[in-house]
Amino acid sequence: MALKIWLNDRLVDEAEARVSVFDHGLLYGDGVFEGIRVYDKRVFEMEAHIRRLFDSARAIRLQIPMSPKEMTKAVETTVAANNLNDGYIRLVVTRGVGSLGLNPFTCKTAGVIIIADKIQLYPEELYEKGMKVISATTVRNHPLALPPQIKSLNYLNNILAKMEALDVDVPEAIMYNHEGYVAEATGDNVFIVRNKIVYAPPVEAGSLEGITRAVVIRLARQEGMEVVEKNLTRFDLYVCDELFLTGTAAEVIGIVEIDGRVIGDGKPGPITRLLRDRFYSYARRKEK
């Protein structure tokens, strides 16, 4: 069955979902987006995602032609139209159609695109066995050049780091900021465990303020774990007891090797497994 895509103000068939070649989202990566999961027909953390979308838009002076309530309704309508039980939503707001040239003020109305479909970022066996990663040489964008809280359409910085990983047959790379501190992976947030304490880089280090990241921190604290946000170095990753990533598509996935160094005993650690289980239960409303 062909997908139904929300385009600007209504649902259209997938074949009709077309964007102008003069849209500044295409020409310049000028726009913002959200990736959102659907579990058992429920949109996961909808309010938090919509809030972040509007915050990102406000930060780049992009006027979304819908209210948060209208956007929420459009997302729900798209999910229902595609009869999606478990899947992924890509919610995109572009600057809209304008003239050639950087001037965003030639774009009169922002474009809205909502896609609801299935996704599996990593094969299931990686969640059981764990994943290998490398350290990217591509430096994360300077936070004063582009605030990491803005989830923009321009992902070239992350893509260059992703290519480094794929070139050596691993699925992910850890990115560091201009000072050498851990920022994030190419599409996920980073956590380590050391002496049963969970550590995460602060947003100021150059990481997106992830929705899944926030949920995992909350779940860890509910389990009585100490969670500390602090700058982490490559050395911290090399000697930690556990290393794991969180993200909308990835959920919670353990890392068992970085740059050829084995993490812990070479298997996803007990805290990683516990938090993955707790996240799975929380996402499917099996626990509060």
| Residues 204-214: tens digit of each pLDDT | 999 889 999 99
Does residue 138 share a domain with residue 94? Answer: no
Does residue 201 share a domain with residue 229? Answer: yes
Q: Which residues are catalytic?
A: 151
Q: How confident is the model at residue 119 (pLDDT cuts 50, 70, 90)?
A: confident
Q: How confident is the model at residue 201 (pLDDT cuts 50, 70, 90)?
A: very high
Residue in the block written with tokens 């999961």: 37
- Residue 95, classified by CB atoms within 10 Å of its CB into exposed (0-12), middle (13-18) or buried (19+), is buried
Which of the two residues, 197 and 120, has the higher pLDDT score? 197
Of 50, 82, 117, the one marking the end of a domain is 117
288 falls within a domain: no
Find out whether 276 and 218 touch, Cβ atoms under 8 Å: no
Q: How confident is the model at residue 121 (pLDDT cuts 50, 70, 90)?
A: confident
Does residue 129 share a domain with residue 94? Answer: no
Does residue 239 share a domain with residue 112? Answer: no
Residue in the block written with tokens 């004063």: 144
Total domain count, the chain: 2
Q: How confident is the model at residue 57 (pLDDT cuts 50, 70, 90)?
A: very high
Report the percent of the chain where pLDDT is more than 70.
99
Does residue 101 share a domain with residue 20? Answer: yes
Domain that holds residue 54: 4-117
Pairing mode of beta strands 172-176, 131-135: parallel
- Residues with Cβ within 8 Å of 248's Cβ and at least 6 positions away in sequence, in order, are 35, 36, 37, 44, 88, 210, 211, 212
Give residue 286's pLDDT. Answer: 55
Does residue 132 share a domain with residue 102? Answer: no
Instruction: Give me the chain's average pLDDT, please.
Output: 95
